[in-house]
Structure 1
Amino acid sequence: MADSTSSSGAQPKGQPTLHHLSDSQSQRILWLLEELAIPYTLINYKRDEQKRSPPGLKTIHPLGRAPTFITADGRILTESMTIATYLLETYDVSKKFAYSDWIRDMTLTSFSGTSLLDLADTELLFDLAAKHTPWPLSYITRFIKKKYDSFFSAAEFKKNMEFLAKELGDEEWFNGKEPGRADFMLSWPMDFVGQRGYVDLKKDFPTLHAWRMRIIERPAWKSTLEKGNGYDLNSW
């Protein structure tokens, strides 16, 4: 299928569609769409009782995941970095959110989906095991989680936050004066860290806490909370 953008740089006709799941990483794509202020169709889905994606998403793409994004010309995209890159390349005509250093931007976006998200996902698995394992086995899972935190994850979270704090420096955004792809991509794992209390950002990393608060105060972010259908990462 041909690319949506033409050689002249014109935006594609019609409007794209975002299939959005509550309490999921598609929140950052919804945020980006609101920042770009383009017409789009939003289809909301709720997690089931096991906090999994509903079967309806599999009718759109075999992976059944969110975000699932359909371009104006019908191409189906499923990975957040791919979707974010497509949106910025296609619709950020004024280059408001463009990066000045592509290597740094790629490093931060890759870091968000590997080093940081992998760590947060593993921590979540230990949380869920400790929460849902029946007594008396729950005692064992809580003990294992406590040991894991003390000998590994606490130090890893600290190291990751120190890296991000250094990268952010005195800037408002990782991208500089305006948020960019790195900021959009980092918002999801950092919401995990902040909402679930894996790190006390306000106390230990105030610049990162201030960065998260800037996101929350943006009109585009507030709009996502009105248009979406839930974003509580403590509900799992």
Structure 2
Amino acid sequence: MSCRLESSRAQRLLVLLEELNLKYEVKTYKRNKDGLAPESLKNIHPLGKSPAVEIELPGQTPFALAESGAIFEYLCKHFGEHLIPAGGADGEKGIESEEFMRNQYFMHYAEGSLMSLLAIAAPIMRMITSKIDDAFLNPNFATHFEFLEGQLKTSPHGGFYLCGKDVTEADFLMMFPIQIGKSWAAWTPVKFPKLCGYLNLMEGRESYKAAERKVIEIEGSFKPVF
């Protein structure tokens, strides 16, 4: 089962579930009038946070997982090893492939440095003033998205994904904050051609389209929201 909060970044979890071709059910929890998650979500996980998944496997007691990074790592380790780049040669301690190291980094960066910026920016975007925008948001957005543009330009083996030629678990985790950043910072293909091409590539995947249809069926619309 995939449990999700309406209008949340849990949407990207559905994209991963579709990519892995896993059977799942969606239970959407409506936000309270104050915009916060309802108390009933604590029935799935004590913190009452979304996304959260309840996993049922044959012969095993159902268990819950929370935190996007932990959920993605579990699902890919057990059902999507092809989304995890190969590491270094056996017996060579500390030596890993560039693809592997990039994947590890972006799995943490997505929910760390980049998501922290979005968390700070979210309330500002709701009461935006040009002075705040110029003084804080624009320079910080520029720093992160120039970095990501550079990472795509130097993708291993001339790949179009963040970690190389093949899509990885990190790409599915990174897609959401990049989408949000694009909508808030209003950057264009002229300034960030690699990032725009990357988003087009990810949004063109069948798994993304299937998740989009699922969310539209449930909520009536599909758009990345914070």
Instruction: Verify same fold: TM over 0.5.
Output: yes
Secondary structure, counterpart of 2:111 in structure 1 = helix
Distance 1:156 1:202 in 2: 19
**Cα deviation code 1:110-130 (max 9, x no counterpart):** 2111211111121111122x1
Distance 1:26 1:63 in 2: 15
Q: CA deviation at 1:160?
A: 0.6
TM-score (norm 2): 0.81
Q: Is the 8 A contact 2:32 2:38 kept in 1?
A: yes
**Cα deviation code 1:188-211 (max 9, x no counterpart):** 21121123x324143321210111
Corresponding position of 2:189: 202
Asked if 1:31 is matched to 2:19, the reply is no
Say what the alpha-carbon RMSD is for the aligned residues. Answer: 2.0
Q: CA deviation at 1:231?
A: 3.5
Asked if 1:148 is matched to 2:132, the reply is yes
Distance 1:223 1:233 in 2: 15
Q: How does 1:29-108 map to 2 (within 5 A)?
A: 29-72=13-56, 73=60, 74-92=62-80, 95-100=81-86, 101-108=99-106
Q: CA deviation at 1:233?
A: 4.3
Structure 1, 197-206 or 183-192: larger mean CA deviation? 197-206
Query: Residue 107 of structure 1 aligns to which amino acid in structure 2?
Result: Y
* Ranges in structure 1 where 5+ consecutive residues have no aligned partner: 1-16, 131-141
* Ranges in structure 2 where 5+ consecutive residues have no aligned partner: 87-98
Identity %: 26
Change in 2 beyond 3 A, CA 1:207/1:232: same
Q: Is the 8 A contact 1:20 1:43 kept in 2?
A: yes
Corresponding position of 1:164: 148
TM-score (norm 1): 0.78
Change in 2 beyond 3 A, CA 1:162/1:23: same
**Cα deviation code 1:161-209 (max 9, x no counterpart):** 11111111252211323321211111121121123x3241433212101
Query: Residue 115 of structure 2 aligns to which amino acid in structure 1?
Result: L
Secondary structure, counterpart of 2:189 in structure 1 = helix
